[in-house]
Amino acid sequence: MTLPDCAIVARVRRPHGVRGELVVESFTDEPDAILAPGRRLFQGTHDGDLWLDPASRRPREVHVQGLRPFKDGWLITLDAVGDRTEAERWNGRHLLVPVSELSEPEDGEVFAHELVGMQLVDAESRAPLGEVVEFYELPQGLLLECRNAQGLFSLPFVDEFVDEVDRAGRRIVVRLPDGLLS
């Protein structure tokens, strides 16, 4: 079986109530559509990888039964989670969707999972600045962890620093804050 190429669309924050509802943080700008009742999702690991059943080595497919806004996130009901005990096992896990089932990003946008491996290029000199090695979802947005010859540095993935994202060319044109690399 070929495993689907998946993108993270949400992270389970915690259980809610006793009937298996989960509080999730959405990583998509279309949570009403991507996490809509009836949609197929895949169980992910705490690290955001596709979870594979140890016995069958197959991913676990789940279906959304309900979704509603809740505070600064969403409450989701999945067919695989029927009570609080099971919901607690999902704490910190990610929910994934096959990339083929997502709409293509607009020009200048990128799926978060595509950031790793992209090259950073200086907006003025066009000189290479490093490579994205990891990203972190924070309440303020994405934070890129990048590596160059001098070591690791972090850069917020925000308009203030990012001029252009070339998805096909696998590069991000940036304006680094003064002193970041010194």
CATH of domain 6-100: 2.40.30.60
Task: List, for the chain, all residue ranges whose pLDDT scores fall below the cut of 70.
Answer: 1, 182
In the chain, where the domains are located: 6-100, 112-174
Q: Which of 33, 27, 1, 2 is nearest to 13 (CA)?
A: 27
Q: Does the pTM of the predicted model rise above 0.75?
A: no
Compute the distance between CA of residue 36 and CA of residue 132 in angstroms, rounded to an integer: 32
The rounded distance, in Å, linking the Cα atoms of 86 and 20 is 7
37-71 pLDDT, tens digit per residue, is 999 999 999 988 899 999 999 999 999 999 999 98
Picking from 161, 36, 145, 21, the residue whose alpha carbon sits closest to that of residue 78 is 21
In this structure, whether the domain defined by 112-174 belongs to CATH 2.40.50.140 is answered with: no
pLDDT digit string, tens, across residues 143-156: 899 999 889 999 99
pLDDT of residue 140: 77
Strands 171-174 and 119-122: parallel
Of residues 118, 135, 117, 114, the one with CA closest to residue 47: 135
